[in-house]
Amino acid sequence: MENRIKQAFAEGRAALGMFVMVPSPALVEMSGHAGFDFVILDTEHGAAGPEGLEHLVRAAETAGTTPIVRVTMNDRALILRALDAGALGVLVPHVLSVADAQAAVAACKYPPEGIRGLATTARAGRHGFRSVAEHIAWSNREILVAVQIEDRAAVPAAEAIAAVPGVDVLFVGPADLSISMGYPGQADHPAVQEAVTRIFKAAEAARREVGYFVRDAAGAKSLMARGVRFLTFSSTSVIGAAFRDVMKGVRDGA
């Protein structure tokens, strides 16, 4: 399976994804059948656990959407588990420094590009039905590394983080960023937006992509106009909004 996110970037278009907060293979499949380029299986704030992760990845593959895992922390073992399950990339939270970004990349890449441990007998290696050389080449080519810039301390290092070889996406975490800057829940505060703009510029200067949460189509189009090409909706928000709209429509018409 090829990475649809990297394909989109190569073609000069945005990749649209769905943060799957509920560990439901059916919901993952629905996201793929709806046409989303990727799903992010959330093990940080979502309920997905290591036991069910492989099933969620398999559901994504079945529906033709690229599976990405947001790990709980920047940990080599957690990243390895996600990739060995078949994820085509990871989203690493709370990356604060060049060293953090380098560690994330190293955990995702096989030598000489990184230090990922090799086990072609894992699911990602087709349980041993793929040669070592083929698996290493494919993995180092297709695995996407996205790092979250979501802390005040990380903003001054944005340019240096973006320049780390192997980093593909700088994902802005507006909620945590606003909290760390002293403006909880105020992602639109001028100071927060100034920090966001700096991250955008850092990514552009290093020829990296920017990732961002979106709530609706209008928000997605607005960010795309600013050059953002890694856009994610939230399954919980989308489903919750649909539930509210249905109930409102019924009650208003009663």
**3-state DSSP assignment of residue 52:** helix
Residue 45 annotated as catalytic: yes
Specify whether the CB–CB gap between 100 and 167 falls below 8 A: no
Q: Decide: residue 120, CB within 10 A, 0-12 exposed, 13-18 middle, 19+ buried.
A: middle
Catalytic residue, chosen from 45, 55, 94, 127, is: 45
Which pairing describes strands 89-92 and 66-70: parallel, antiparallel, or unpaired? Answer: parallel
Q: How many CB atoms lie within 10 A of CB 33?
A: 12
Fill in the amino acid letter for 36.
F
CA 153 – CA 132 distance, rounded (Å)? 40
Which tokens sit at 28?
Answer: 């993952």
Question: Which residues are catalytic, by number?
Answer: 45
